[in-house]
Amino acid sequence: MLNNKIKFRAIILAGGKGSRLGDITKKTPKPLIKVLNKEFLFYLINFLKINNVDEIIVTTNYKKNLFIKFFNDIKFKNIKIKNENKVLGTGGSFLKVAKSLKFEKNTINFVCNADTLFLFSIRKIKKQLIKNDFIILSLKKNNCKRYGKLILKNNNVIDIKRSQNTQGHISSGFFFFKKFDKNIINKNKEKLDFENDILRTMLKKKIKIKSISLNSPFIDIGVIKELKKSKIFIKEQYNEFIKKL
């Protein structure tokens, strides 16, 4: 039974090329794009640290030397870089780290994307994180077309549908788990997608994934339209949220 001395460990997926941003990411990996003179990844890690996340693992591939320089320059502690020599995809990166983890009794793990910010308090959802083995933090969108639409029943995820030009819940990219059995995923291909190959496989095997819906500020800088909004997001939402956290 988990107790009050719970530790939180984050896996940040930062290995993608960010090709949808065109020329912007030819020299700079998407998570290291500067917003108000600081790298987007800085804001994510700062948010996690203030949220009392004890350990952070960052997976890298594309222009990984720039990530090494970034972490040498900042002052954050308890951060490990997992450099990948080939493209594994979000699912492959997650699976590689999950296979290497030691699942301690009082540690809750979670995975998130390096190009998104979802501003929530771990403390406020801690009881639910303790109670459930697998949790996706979700949010409501008027149009789910850019994301996988979560099909929910009694707040459990039963399916994920793509290209849904309708209102519904999407994943924030934050997926919590206490432990992960590598034998759940038996696909042989090296490059795996987290949503299609990890989550969908879990659902097919009838593994219960709880959805916690939060009305929290969210941004995904994966496309130029959203990247342009990031300065206002940091100024008006992120900075104010951090003060209150």
Q: What residue ranges do the domains of the chain occupy? A: 7-140+173-244
Bridge partners of residue 141, in order along the sequence:
168
Residue 180 CA to residue 168 CA, distance in Å, equals: 28
Residue 110 CA to residue 44 CA, distance in Å, equals: 14
Task: Record the tokens describing residue 11, joined without a space.
Answer: 């896996």
Percentage of the chain modeled with pLDDT above 70 = 98
pTM, 2 dp: 0.95
Q: What is the pLDDT of residues 137-174, one digit of tens each?
A: 999 999 998 999 999 999 999 999 988 899 999 999 99
Helix (H, G, I), strand (E, B) or coil at 239: helix
Average pLDDT over residues 112-116: 97
Residue 11 CA to residue 56 CA, distance in Å, equals: 6
Under CATH, which number does the domain 7-140+173-244 receive? 3.90.550.10
**9, 107 in Cβ contact below 8 A?**
yes
Q: What is the pLDDT of residues 35-55, one digit of tens each?
A: 999 999 999 999 999 999 999
pLDDT of residue 4: 62
Phi/psi at 44 (5° precision): -65, -50
- pLDDT band for position 75 (cuts 50, 70, 90): confident
pLDDT of residue 186: 81
